[in-house]
Amino acid sequence: MSFFTYKNGEMHAEGVALATIATQVGTPFYCYSAGALRAAWKEFADGIKGLNASVCYAMKANSNLAVVRLFGDMGAGADIVSVGEMHRALAAGIPAGRIIYSGVGKKPSELMAALEAGVGQINIESSAELETLNAVAGQLGVKADITIRVNPDVDAKTHAKITTGRKENKFGIDLDLAREAFALAGRLPNLKVVGVAMHIGSQLTTVTPYRDAIVRVRELIGQLRADGHKIDRFDIGGGLGIVYADERPPSIAEFMAVVARETDGLGCELTFEPGRRLVGEAGVLVGEVILVKPGSAKTFVIVDAAMNDLIRPTLYEAWHDILPVRQARPEAATIRCDIVGPICESGDFLAQNRDLPPLAAGDLIMVRSAGAYGAVMGSSYNTRPLAPEVMVDGTRFAVTRPRPTIEEMLSAERFPPWMEKSKA
């Protein structure tokens, strides 16, 4: 079911016209469908039935407080990669015990904050981090529950910048070094090893890499148990893909069937950490056409949404479908164009060489599948205010993060004392 559809010629998010939101909020803005978020969560909730498993939402995909609270209210935990995300999860109402702290580089102060907050699990990614956490836990007089993230050296068949499970990636401990790391953890008095973790990449559109990785980690778990370690948890990570163009990612049911088969008899509690799959297709970016600029080589449609609002096309060569908010007539001709923003960079584009209905100044466009790694990666480059975020639920909507004013942006900065103007 699509939660973004044309009704009477106008694109709606559930029961609200996007043009109505644009009139009240201005453009550009992000819009999230609560119905789509709930539907994505239900797929996972249904998928883990019969398994000893839990789901922790990977907040790096979209850390909007309203989004996090919606998932938390339905039973999700949170997978975080910074202390800032930890505070967001707690502020959204997720209990500390349902928070997993991942990430390749955690400072001692950050580990201390996590232990003081009572996070349920810390995923360790290096032997050096084992030593650091042991020292921090000793200072606090606590024993930290940890899993060790291993790198199974499996090609996720995804974009090079979002694959995380190869030996040349910075994440996790190589499989052939894992037993040594677990042995070290077992000797450290302030750590309690509870399991093994992995995460092989993002935007995976086939289950084969998961199967290959699980098989390798399962063999490791057998070796670790033979070494005397008690391995009760297997954190499988996330990474399942969504539809941007013509991808055909596996259903959650298909994915879970593979996981269930390959972990059968393992005796581990399973953890899943979906991010993009829960929020990606539940969000859109809406912008307004500033002007159309015909050229001898191509036509540029210049809009007020830019690379600072959605950097994925520039950073990952990512494709996002773009539609006019007002539905074009079936017989309308199309134009070949680039959809670009006003930022002073040649890389400032949302799409290139697209065939779209003719657009004019004042028209609204909608960028699909922008709910993951959209607003959360936004910046204020060119002193452009961050795009606001809006949530729609049925026929109601609310701004969940307002657009800052220029005055608010400037007020966060300070002149050094020697630059202050004399008041005399």
Asked if 352 contacts 298 with a C-beta cutoff of 8 angstroms, the reply is no
Of 68-82, 127-141, 158-172, least confident by mean pLDDT is: 158-172
Q: What is the mean pLDDT of the chain?
A: 94
Residue 424 pLDDT > 80: no
- What's the half-sphere exposure (Cβ side, CA atoms, 13 Å) at 45? 13
Which pLDDT value is given to residue 329? Answer: 87
Residue 167 pLDDT > 90: no
Q: Quick one: pLDDT band at residue 423, thresholds 50, 70, 90? A: low
Helix (H) or strand (E) holding 218: helix 208-226
Asked if 181 contacts 134 with a C-beta cutoff of 8 angstroms, the reply is no
pLDDT tens digits for range 10-46: 999 999 999 999 999 999 999 999 999 999 999 999 9
Give the closest residue to 121 by CA, choosing from 253, 235, 283.
235
Mean predicted confidence (pLDDT) in 275-302? 95
Residue 418 pLDDT > 80: yes
Q: What is the CATH number of domain 103-272?
A: 3.20.20.10
Share of the chain above pLDDT 70, in %: 95
Q: What is the 3-state secondary structure (H, E, C) of 176-191?
A: HHHHHHHHHHHHCCCE
C-alpha to C-alpha distance for 48 and 252, rounded to whole angstroms: 9
Mean predicted confidence (pLDDT) in 373-394? 98
pLDDT tens digits for range 203-239: 999 999 999 999 999 999 999 999 999 999 999 999 9
Residue 185 pLDDT > 50: yes
Token readout for 423 is 């008041």
Residue 190 pLDDT > 60: yes
Residue 165 pLDDT > 50: no
Mean predicted confidence (pLDDT) in 82-94? 98
pTM, 2 dp: 0.94
Which pLDDT value is given to residue 161? Answer: 44
Amino acid identity, position 302: I
Tracing tokens 């309690």 back to the chain, one arrives at 192
pLDDT tens digits for range 304-343: 999 999 999 999 899 999 999 999 988 888 999 999 999 9
DSSP code, position 61: G
C-alpha to C-alpha distance for 371 and 34, rounded to whole angstroms: 11
Of 22-31, 52-61, 107-116, 156-165, least confident by mean pLDDT is: 156-165
- What's the half-sphere exposure (Cβ side, CA atoms, 13 Å) at 129? 24
Which pLDDT value is given to residue 153? Answer: 82
Residue 291 pLDDT > 70: yes
Which pLDDT value is given to residue 162? Answer: 43
Residue 160 pLDDT > 90: no
Token readout for 218 is 């399962």
C-alpha to C-alpha distance for 54 and 52, rounded to whole angstroms: 7
Asked if 270 contacts 52 with a C-beta cutoff of 8 angstroms, the reply is yes
Which pLDDT value is given to residue 1? Answer: 64
4-31+280-411 adopts what CATH topology? Lyase, Ornithine Decarboxylase; Chain A, domain 1 (2.40.37)
Mean predicted confidence (pLDDT) in 53-59? 98
Q: Provide CATH 3.20.20.10 ranges for the chain.
A: 103-272
Which pLDDT value is given to residue 159? Answer: 46
Q: Quick one: pLDDT band at residue 169, thresholds 50, 70, 90? A: low
C-alpha to C-alpha distance for 163 and 101, rounded to whole angstroms: 20
Asked if 320 contacts 368 with a C-beta cutoff of 8 angstroms, the reply is yes
Q: Provide CATH 2.40.37.10 ranges for the chain.
A: 4-31+280-411
Residue 163 pLDDT > 80: no
> Nearest 5°: CA angle at 116, between 113 and 120?
95
Based on its alpha-carbon atoms, the radius of gyration of the chain, rounded to whole angstroms, reads 23
Q: Quick one: pLDDT band at residue 297, thresholds 50, 70, 90? A: confident
Task: Provide the strand spans (E) within 327-412.
Answer: 335-340, 349-356, 364-367, 389-393, 396-401
Mean predicted confidence (pLDDT) in 5-11? 97
Active site residues: 344
